[in-house]
Amino acid sequence: MNDPHVVLHLGAHKTATTHLQHSIHAARRQLDGAGVRFFGPPALRQPGTRIEARFDLPFNPRKSVADHRPAREVLAEMMDGGTRLVLSEENFIGSLFDRRYPGPFHSLPVPLYPDAALRLAALAARVAPDRGLDLCLGIRDPAGFLNSAYGLVLQAGSGVDMDGFKRRNALFDIDWVHLVRRLRQAEGVGRVTVWRHEDYRPMFDQVVAALVGEGVGPIRPVARVVNPGLSTKAVAVALECRAAGASGPVVQQARDSFPVGPDNPPHDGFDAEEHALSAEFYAAQVAELAQMDGVTLLRPDGPA
C-alpha cells in the first residue's frame, strides 16, 4: 500500500465541529467513490475504535481493547483501497476541560490541549511516518468560545454562574497562536490549515475541501442546527433549577422550553468592553497565524 494522505481534523471544540462532521458524514458514499475514507465520531468513539486504540498508542486508556496489529495493516484496512484518510475527532488531542480535579468541570486547561503535541507525534509515527500528518483546525473569538463552553459546563451538571466561570477562565487564556505553534512543532506534523469559526458558513466549501480534498464534488451543509446554544432565559432557568437541588437534564429542558429566537436572545456573559478586548486579541492572533510558517489560514477571499 502506498502511503495515503492522512488528514486529522482536530475540532476545536465549540467551532461548529459537529455540524461539519454531520455534513461530511452525510456525503460518505460520494467520498468513497472519490477514494476518500472519512472516519468521524460514530466510527471513533466505541470501545476499540478510538484512534488511540486502533493504533495502540501509548496513552490509550483501555489496553484490553487495543489493536496490536502493525499500524500499516490497520491503516490498509481503514483505507480499503482509498487514497486519502480523514480522521475527525476533536477529543483526540484532549478534553476541553481540565480533568485533573474532581467534581463538575469548571476550568479549561492552560494552555489549551496541553498534551496535543505528544499525542500528534505518537499518531504521526504510526500512520504517516514518511509523508507526515496534515491537520485542520477551527478557531473562535475567545468571548464566543467561552460563552459556548459555559453551556457545556451547565450540561455537565455544574451550577456555577457565569461570573464564577469567568474567574476561572480568562479571555486571554484562549490563545490559538500558542496552540497552533505547538501543533506545528510536533514531530511528524505537516501542514496545518486553520479557519475562523465566524467564517465557517460562508467558507463551508473551502473548509470541506481542506479536509477531503478538491474534486470530490459539492458537499452540502446539513440544514439543521447541530448542538444549539442556550438563550439567556434558558441559562437563568437552569441555574435556578440547580440551586433548588434539581437533577437530571434540566439544561436540555430549559433549552427546549426557551430556545434561542426573537423572544429569547442567546446567552452572552460578556459586556461590550470585554467583547472589544476579545475581538482585539483575536484579530492579533489571526494576523499572526496568517504569517506562521507551515500554516494556511482560510479566508473568505482565499487562503492567506
**pLDDT for residue 154:** 92
Tell me how far the alpha carbon of residue 4 is from its chain's centroid.
23
Quote the pLDDT of residue 102.
Answer: 61
* Beta pairing partners, 85: 6, 37
Spell out the domains of the chain, with CATH numbers in brackets: 5-102+109-146+174-223+286-297 (3.40.50)
Q: Residue 90: what pLDDT?
A: 98
CA distance 38 to 79: 9
pLDDT of residue 89: 98
Asked if 179 and 112 touch (Cβ cutoff 8 Å), the reply is yes
Amino acid, single-letter form, for residue 50: R
Number of other CB atoms surrounding residue 130 within 10 Å: 6
Give the helix ranges, DSSP H, for the chain: 17-26, 28-33, 41-44, 51-54, 71-79, 116-127, 142-155, 162-168, 176-185, 204-212, 232-243, 250-257, 272-290
Answering whether pTM is above 0.85, one says: yes
* Phi-psi category of residue 290: left, alpha or beta, with phi > 0 → left and psi -120 to 50 → alpha: alpha
Do 171 and 273 form a contact (C-beta atoms < 8 A)?
no
What is d(CA 277, CA 166) in angstroms, rounded to the nearest whole number? 14
Identify the segments of the chain with pLDDT beneath 70. 1-2, 101-105, 304
Candidates 31, 55, 169, 194; CA nearest to 109 is 169
Nine-digit cell string for 47? 470501545
Angle between helices 116-127 and 71-79 (to 10 degrees): 80
On the question of a cis peptide bond just before residue 53, with omega within 30 degrees of 0, the verdict is no
Provide the pLDDT for residue 101.
64
